[in-house]
């Protein structure tokens, strides 16, 4: 039997008990951008346990921060007593939902199968598989693999009207683009609708969650269930998260923030949240943490009264990194951050965390006979060797936490993992990976 995620167990997430109904908490946290009947949903979520689901397509080898919204929503509803189904799209991943501008590249079946396994493991970490409302992971390839094209058209396709399908936002956007849309991607909404119908039939699943940009696909399922089974099913569309300055959320220097530690180190994730703008941090805490309303209101006060302390950002970074990577990894990256930027003990850091932290800074590889002056130049901390010499002479350069007195001193790679940290002034740092 699977057990709950070590990260979740360590953090012991819980819903805020001051809300009488989990629906009210979801609304307060800003997690409901669009939905089917709100009153019916409030009654549904405040009553006996229901089964609900969210789907994740393997279009990459890892989930990302946008998916984390859904993973935590799955968990919040489970904590309220409801039964989650985590769907990993082994069949829909072979197609991919329509992107706004261009056709997706189709991945091989082998690649999709490999990614299904990785995503499944990630989804499992955020749910509990114990108790009366234990989670279940499903794969839509199980009910589509043996379905013939004729059966698909007869049993499912006949319930869809092309005029309605053309009005879906994702389809309409592509029809108005130069790329157009293939029948393959056009049919995606039917496949997702069929998933909801199948889960209703197998597990009495009556609610699907997803991003609001997927609303057309979400309602494809609710409409199909109503048409075929004569019952009402529901959908919740979460908001697309954007930064207050208009930039895209979930990117760091142009790279997505993935949940896989190999694709995005815990240190990088921690720094991403630590750099959250004051204007965004409270909204992020509401959505991405399990802090209570009272705690969040206190952090909102601190943002107003003492923004320079960045207390809200530090708590947000610690909470989310722990949720994704666990307590031990988070403690290691906090120690690395404190050592690099707060004067802590660099020699006490573990090699892997230190190395991943330095990869996020300007860094170079160097030999054991590289001087500090040359390393300053190579890492971009100075623009010339003469500037490097002046910086050393003025006492403004340190290597591995010790002030450099001699411009001809060599970088040593004395820190764990054979690295060195160069510092010019108080906050300008670079990493040196010393080859031996």
Mark whether 414 and 297 lie in a shared domain.
no
Structural domain includes residue 68: yes
Torsion of CA 180, 186, 192, 195, to 10 degrees: -150
Mark whether 193 and 304 lie in a shared domain.
no
Q: Which residue from 229, 286, 213 is spatially nearest to 221, judged by alpha carbons?
A: 229
Distances (CA, A) of 344 to 82, 298, 336, 372: 45, 28, 8, 21
Instruction: State residue 264's pLDDT score.
Output: 95
Mark whether 219 and 368 lie in a shared domain.
no
Structural domain includes residue 246: no
What angle (nearest 5°) sits at the alpha carbon of residue 272, between those of residues 333 and 348?
15
Q: How far is the C-alpha of 257 from the C-alpha of 351, rounded, in Å?
A: 22
Structural domain includes residue 245: no
User: What b/e string do you get for 199-209 counting C-beta neighbours within 10 Å, with b at 16 or more?
Assistant: bbeeeebbbbb
Mark whether 164 and 274 lie in a shared domain.
no
* Tens digits of residue pLDDT in 267-301: 999 999 999 999 999 999 999 999 999 999 999 99
Q: Which residue from 65, 57, 60 is spatially nearest to 256, judged by alpha carbons?
A: 65
Q: How far is the C-alpha of 278 from the C-alpha of 187, rounded, in Å?
A: 42
Q: Which residue from 60, 84, 59 is spatially nearest to 8, judged by alpha carbons?
A: 84
Structural domain includes residue 154: yes
**Which residue, chain included where needed, has tokens 């995606």?**
188
Mark whether 197 and 315 lie in a shared domain.
no
Structural domain includes residue 126: yes
Structural domain includes residue 157: yes
131 touches 144 (CB < 8 A): no
Mark whether 181 and 318 lie in a shared domain.
no
Confidence bin at 3 (pLDDT 50/70/90): very low
Number of other CB atoms surrounding residue 261 within 10 Å: 18
CATH code at 87?
Answer: 3.40.50.620
What beta strand segments (E) does 34-162 contain?
A: 34-35, 51-56, 83-88, 136-139
* Tens digits of residue pLDDT in 298-350: 999 999 999 999 999 999 999 999 999 999 999 999 999 999 987 778 999 99
CATH code at 331?
Answer: 1.10.240.10
Q: Which residue from 196, 140, 189, 192 is spatially nearest to 168, judged by alpha carbons?
A: 189
In sequence order, the 6+-apart residues with CB closer than 8 A to the CB of 84 are 51, 52, 53, 54, 74, 75, 77, 78, 127, 133, 135, 136
- Reading the block at residue 198, the tokens are 């199948």
Q: How far is the C-alpha of 340 from the C-alpha of 428, rounded, in Å?
A: 10
Structural domain includes residue 1: no
What DSSP element (H or E) covers 186? helix 183-186
213 touches 185 (CB < 8 A): no
Q: Could you give the number of structural domains in the chain?
A: 3
**Which domain-ending residue is among 352, 375, 408?**
352
Mark whether 31 and 63 lie in a shared domain.
yes
* Tens digits of residue pLDDT in 164-201: 888 887 788 888 887 788 888 888 899 999 999 999 99
Kindly report the backbone phi and psi dihedral angles of residue 417, in degrees, each rounded to the nearest multiple of 5, phi listed first. Answer: 90, 5
Instruction: State residue 253's pLDDT score.
Output: 62
Q: Percentage of the chain surpassing pLDDT 90?
A: 78
Instruction: State residue 248's pLDDT score.
Output: 74
Mark whether 35 and 61 lie in a shared domain.
yes
Res. 1: pLDDT tops 50: no
Residue 234, domain extent: 6-238
Structural domain includes residue 244: no
Mark whether 23 and 166 lie in a shared domain.
yes
Q: How far is the C-alpha of 70 from the C-alpha of 63, rounded, in Å?
A: 11
Q: How far is the C-alpha of 55 from the C-alpha of 247, rounded, in Å?
A: 26
Q: What is the largest CA-CA distance in the chain?
A: 82
* Tens digits of residue pLDDT in 53-101: 999 999 999 999 999 999 999 999 999 999 999 999 999 999 877 777 7
Radius of gyration of the chain (CA): 25
Mark whether 76 and 181 lie in a shared domain.
yes
What DSSP element (H or E) covers 175? helix 169-175
**Which domain-ending residue is among 313, 335, 352?**
352
**Which domain-ending residue is among 352, 376, 400?**
352
Strand order across the 363-367 sheet: 363-367, 428-435, 419-424, 397-399, 402-403
Mark whether 62 and 165 lie in a shared domain.
yes
Mark whether 220 and 325 lie in a shared domain.
no
């Amino acid at each position: 039997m699977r057990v709950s995620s070590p990260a979740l167990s360590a953090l012991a997430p819980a819903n805020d008990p001051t809300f009488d109904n989990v629906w009210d908490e979801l609304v307060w946290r800003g997690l409901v951008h669009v939905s089917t009947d709100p009153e019916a949903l409030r009654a549904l979520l405040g009553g006996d346990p229901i089964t609900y689901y969210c789907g994740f397509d393997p279009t990459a080898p890892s989930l990302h921060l946008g998916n984390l919204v859904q993973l935590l929503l799955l968990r919040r509803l489970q904590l309220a007593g409801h039964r989650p189904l985590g769907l990993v799209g082994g069949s829909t991943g072979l197609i991919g939902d329509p992107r706004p501008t261009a056709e997706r590249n189709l991945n091989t079946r082998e690649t999709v199968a490999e990614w299904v396994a990785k995503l499944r493991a990630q989804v499992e970490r955020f749910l509990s598989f114990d108790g009366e409302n234990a989670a279940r992971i499903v794969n839509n390839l199980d009910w589509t693999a043996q379905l013939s094209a004729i059966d698909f058209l007869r049993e499912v396709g006949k319930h869809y009207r092309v005029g309605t399908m053309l009005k879906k936002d994702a389809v309409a956007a592509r029809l108005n683009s130069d790329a157009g849309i293939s029948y393959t991607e056009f049919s995606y909404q039917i496949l997702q609708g069929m998933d909801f119908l199948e889960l209703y039939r197998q597990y009495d699943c009556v609610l699907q969650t997803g991003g609001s940009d997927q609303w057309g696909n979400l309602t494809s399922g609710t409409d199909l269930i109503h048409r075929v089974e004569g019952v009402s099913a529901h959908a919740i569309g979460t908001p697309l998260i954007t930064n207050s300055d208009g930039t895209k959320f979930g990117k760091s220097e142009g790279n997505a923030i993935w949940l896989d530690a190999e694709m995005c180190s815990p240190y990088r994730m921690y720094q991403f949240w630590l750099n959250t703008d004051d204007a965004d941090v409270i909204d992020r805490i509401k959505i991405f943490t399990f802090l209570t309303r009272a705690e969040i209101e206190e952090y909102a006060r601190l943002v107003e009264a003492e923004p320079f302390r960045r207390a809200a950002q530090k708590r947000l970074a610690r909470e989310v990194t722990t949720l994704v990577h666990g307590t031990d990894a988070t403690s290691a990256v906090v120690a690395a951050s404190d050592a690099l930027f707060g004067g802590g003990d660099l020699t006490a850091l573990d090699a892997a965390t230190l190395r991943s932290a330095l990869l996020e800074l300007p860094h170079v590889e160097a030999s054991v006979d590289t001087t500090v002056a040359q390393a300053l130049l190579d890492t971009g901390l100075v623009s010339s060797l003469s500037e490097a010499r002046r910086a050393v002479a003025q006492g403004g350069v340190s290597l591995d936490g010790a002030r450099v007195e001699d411009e001809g001193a060599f970088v040593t790679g004395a820190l764990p993992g054979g690295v060195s940290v160069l510092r010019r002034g108080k906050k300008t740092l670079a990493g040196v990976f010393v080859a031996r």
